[in-house]
Amino acid sequence: MPKIPVQFRHNGRDVAIFVDGGTNLLVALRELIGDMTPKFGCGQGGCGTCSVLIDGELHLSCLTLAETVAGRSIETLDGMKQGPNLHPLQRAFADHFAAQCGYCTPGMLMAAKALLDRNPAPSRAEIVEAISGNICRCTGYEPIINAILAAAGGRASA
């Protein structure tokens, strides 16, 4: 079966890959581009650790057919840091112990970024809603919520 060429922007850089029919974006990013920041969790849309931004909108890369992102702009955690400096969300996650095993962290950060990009001063309830598609089995969510509140300039309780 012939491979399908797909061109898109990956963290601000133009990339071109050849995929098999049915390849999902997560596999394309990890195996063909070498961006290992989006993680494979469930492959079912239940965990959120493969979350990426497509044209600024939060999507699950494992449920996205790779060839459908042709011509679009993909952002992953790999593109989040600003030069040598961590993004304020990454800094806040570190400061608030929002990562324990770290497996959910790439998806959590992308979900948080999707929220803050359109709502720079979210309420606690809006943060809970924004990360509701992302499962964390370690932290109990509170440190993550506090980190996002802190990054948004809100007062975190911990």
Site of interaction with other proteins (CB under 8 A): 1, 4, 20-24, 43-45, 48, 51, 57-60, 62-65, 67-68, 111, 114-115, 128-134
Distance of alpha carbon 44 from alpha carbon 135, whole angstroms: 13
Shortest distance in whole angstroms from residue 84 CB to other proteins:
30
Nearer to other proteins, 59 or 87 (CB): 59
Nearer to other proteins, 45 or 120 (CB): 45
Shortest distance in whole angstroms from residue 29 CB to other proteins:
15
What are the Cα distances from residue 125, in Å, to 35, 49, 110, 116, 153? 32, 21, 18, 14, 15
13-19 and 4-10 beta bridge pairing: antiparallel
Shortest distance in whole angstroms from residue 129 CB to other proteins:
6
Distance of alpha carbon 102 from alpha carbon 49, whole angstroms: 10
Nearer to other proteins, 114 or 148 (CB): 114
Shortest distance in whole angstroms from residue 90 CB to other proteins:
20
Distance of alpha carbon 37 from alpha carbon 34, whole angstroms: 9
